[in-house]
Each structure stands twice: as structure tokens, then as C-alpha cells.
Amino acid sequence: MSKHTQGPWILSTRETDTPGVLLAFCIDSAEKFNIASSQSQEHLGQDGLRAEEMLANANLIAAAPELLEALEALADRYNDVIGNEGVECYKARAAIDKARGDQ
């Protein structure tokens, strides 16, 4: 059983009225528990996170439970067919461990 909040994680975005902040996002579990939230940082100029990049990051975070589940299934299948060898399997297991906090 995973320690993380089970998916799906639902992404919602909204435009803001805050100067220098174009977009905000919130990622919640199906039970409405907040997983993550942030906002773009155009007010910081070149050092700030732009809305487009922030939204791409938010989509990646929201997909994390499904990505982890799919990678675990692929790594297990790879191991069944080819064995627990090769750089691909090593990278997959390392990413799974990182996602689980086991690194």
C-alpha cells in the first residue's frame, strides 16, 4: 500500500486578479484533500515561474499517481519477461523508489 494519497488527483486552475500573478492552480484528491497548490510568478520578472511552465508542472504533479502505477506495472512486466537487468529497469526502479521516498 502506498503512503501517498491515492489518485486520481484533480487539477483546477484559475486566473487571478493579483498583479504579476496570472494563474493559480490547486491539485486535490477525489476526496477533496489538497495535494498541492501554487501560482505563477510573473511579478519576479525573468526569475519567476511563468504561467505556461507552472501549468506544465501542475499537470505532471496531477498525473503522478497514474504515472507511478503504470511504471510499477511496466517494471514488473519487464522483470517477468527479460529479468531485473538493464539500464531501463534500473532507471525505472530508481524512479519508483524516488516517488515512494525510498531512495
Q: Show the beta-strand stretches assigned E in the chain.
A: 9-15, 23-29, 34-39
Write the pLDDT tens digit of every residue in 5-57. 999 999 999 999 999 899 999 999 999 999 999 999 988 888 888 999 999 99
Parent domain of 22: 9-100
| pLDDT (average), residues 72-84 | 83
Residue 83's contacts (CB-CB under 8 Å, 6 or more residues apart) are: none
- Does any domain span residue 59? yes
| pLDDT (average), residues 56-73 | 95
Of the two residues 86 and 28, the one the predictor is more confident about is 28
Of the two residues 1 and 36, the one the predictor is more confident about is 36
Which of helix, strand or coil describes residue 89?
A: helix
Judged on CB neighbours under 10 Å (0-12, 13-18, 19+), 58 is buried
Number of domains in the chain: 1
Residue 51's contacts (CB-CB under 8 Å, 6 or more residues apart) are: 22, 23, 40, 42
- Does any domain span residue 1? no
- Does any domain span residue 54? yes
pTM: 0.84
- Does any domain span residue 4? no
